[in-house]
Amino acid sequence: MDRKCLLIYHKEDNDGVFSGALLYDYLINTMNYDPENITCMGSEYNELANFSKENTVEDLHKEYDKIIMTDISFNDPKYMKKLWEEFRHDFVWCDHHAPIIRASFENKFDDVPGIRDTKRSAILCVWKYLYDPFDEAYNNPERISEDSNFPELLRVLSGWDSWSYEREGYSFDHVRNVNKGVTFKYNLDFSKIYELVKLIRQSYIYDKDDFNTKNGRIGFYLMIGQMEEIGETLNAYDDQTMEQIIQNSGDCNWKINTGNTADGNPTWRPACAIFHQGATNSTMFKSLNGNGMNIMNGIVFKHAKNGNWTVSLYNIRDNEPTPECGGFHCGDFCKKHYKGGGHAGAAGFTITEKQFIKILKNKQLG
């Protein structure tokens, strides 16, 4: 096939890379695209913002016949809508981030092809879109067996990324450790994960009574156990390291302005901030739970090469916007105040040096 496709995926976690690899595999092996005609673009949100400034939708259509996005979006709803108006059904978007999905309804581009579902990961959105439109395999009560037509590895990775591990039937430690093991083994390398995805397709899409297919599924169950063992060791080390970082460098004098009460007074959420250049997630702040300080959020500042600052915001007591965490949605907060986005429990944004200095001076967000 001579048609050219731009595949944009979130490159910072397994959810983005695996869902991108699933789509890439489908384009090549089902849609018969020539790999030379597929441009795979792993991106972060700030990189995507710069991309939209440098490329008009019309220019993209001159170069590509099809645009596919997974686990990421342009933060500007108007740009997303232009993509829909320009490419129509050759624009496919799979995602699970609430702020931009909500904006798609408000701006009337919610009928873009693909699956958007805040209750599941991008991996599961893509799998549903490509292979399981009615969730028949996903909802199969006999799913944990070699006869299952649903890849258990994808379910585990989804349980971690979308914080749905209880609904999927797993423990927190299980999904966290498997995710860590997979990240360590494949290092978010798109080409390596694509090779794994090819095996997943071969093992779960074809005839379930085929001997080689069953063998492949059993192999994946063994792999999950191996990844969990590796991840458990790595996470134990990370927990110890992060606890030391929080104790030595965490500043618990930060706060987040969540809005004003009826009498006009601001409401605050106590937070702990650190400066850390490595990978982060909400679990790095777990040592603050039960310490009597009632810290509700973690803030991580990371200095970028271009001089800007990336900021990650986490709910550290609950990753859902429930009464237990004050109904606070990190993604909505970041979008409203800093044009960022993300999940209820974890989100982020990018700011300039000037904005960073102002935030640092006041030790507050919002």
Q: Give the pLDDT confidence of 40-83 residue by residue, as tens digits.
A: 999 988 789 889 999 999 999 999 999 999 999 998 999 999 99
The answer to whether residue 313 scores a pLDDT higher than 70 is yes
> Which 8-state DSSP code applies to residue 95?
B
By DSSP bridging, strand 346-351 and strand 309-315 are antiparallel
H or E segment to which residue 252 belongs: strand 251-260
Query: 67-71, 103-107, 288-292: which has the minimum mean pLDDT?
Result: 288-292
The answer to whether residue 10 scores a pLDDT higher than 80 is yes
Amino acid 214: pLDDT: 64
* Domains identified in the chain and CATH numbers: 5-238 (no CATH), 250-365 (3.10.310)
Query: 38-47, 93-102, 179-188, 287-296: which has the minimum mean pLDDT?
Result: 287-296
Query: 38-52, 148-162, 196-210, 239-253: which has the minimum mean pLDDT?
Result: 196-210
Token pair of 197 as six digits: 């995805």
Alpha helices in 56-97 (DSSP H): 57-63, 77-87
Strands of the sheet with 346-351, listed across from one edge: 341-342, 346-351, 309-315, 297-303, 266-275, 251-260, 364-365
pLDDT band at 292 (very low <50, low <70, confident <90, very high): low
Strands of the sheet with 38-43, listed across from one edge: 38-43, 5-10, 66-70, 91-94
Report how far apart, in Å, the C-alpha atoms of 201 and of each of 24, 121, 187, 289 are.
Answer: 12, 18, 21, 41
Amino acid 90: pLDDT: 97
Q: What is the percent of the chain where pLDDT is above 70? A: 91
Amino acid 23: pLDDT: 98
Q: How far apart are the first and last CA of the chain?
A: 49
Task: Identify the three-state secondary structure at position 278.
Answer: coil
The answer to whether residue 290 scores a pLDDT higher than 80 is no
* C-alpha atoms less than 13 angstroms from C-alpha of 13 in its C-beta half-sphere: 21
pLDDT band at 2 (very low <50, low <70, confident <90, very high): confident
